[in-house]
Amino acid sequence: MKIVLLMFFLFCAGGVHAAERSLVIDLATQTVVFIEDGHVIRAGIVSTGRKEYETPKGTFRVIEKVRHRYSRQHKTPMLFSIRFHKGYFLHLGKPTGEVASAGCVRLRPEDALYAFKFVNVGDKIVIQ
């Protein structure tokens, strides 16, 4: 009980801080930027949706994270998938820095694993 009260006090006093984390995907440059408490901590290349399957622009929230997902529609594995809008995900792929996907955001293996560990459900995903 004492520990719970101490944690509550520290949280209210600002001693326990949950980092504000977000990912920003830039469609023009085909890049992802990882932001924590307003500071860029990592960046990488992506591949987003090609013309007929454009990745939606906007500010979204992480809806769910699934380590092993398989797309029956596109017949492809989507490892370390992070759903941010309806049927749109960030997931492990082979990004080239060019548009190439069916709407999802493809991440390099090291970025996909990092993103999966980095964001939590409810964190912000900005696609611009």
Contacts 24+ apart (CB under 8 A), 82-86: 82/115, 82/116, 82/119, 82/125, 84/60, 84/125, 85/56, 85/58, 85/60
Q: How many domains does the chain have?
A: 1
Nearest residue to 56 (alpha-carbon basis) of 114, 115, 101: 101
Q: What is the pTM of this model?
A: 0.83
Structure tokens at 38: 């307003």
Structure tokens at 114: 């990092």
- The reported pLDDT for the residue numbered 75 is 79
- The reported pLDDT for the residue numbered 5 is 45
Its domain, for residue 23, covers 19-127
Give me the CATH number covering residue 68: 2.40.440.10
C-alpha 105/C-alpha 125 separation (Å) is 11
Query: What values do phi and psi take at 72, rounded to 5?
Result: -70, -35
Residue 107 placed within a domain: yes
Per-residue pLDDT 10s for the chain (128 aa) are 555 444 555 555 555 567 899 999 999 999 999 999 999 999 999 999 999 999 999 999 999 999 998 788 777 888 999 999 999 999 999 999 999 999 999 999 999 999 999 999 999 999 99
Residue 7 placed within a domain: no
Q: What residues have CB less than 8 Å from 77, skipping those under 6 apart?
A: 68, 69, 70, 71, 92
- The reported pLDDT for the residue numbered 12 is 53
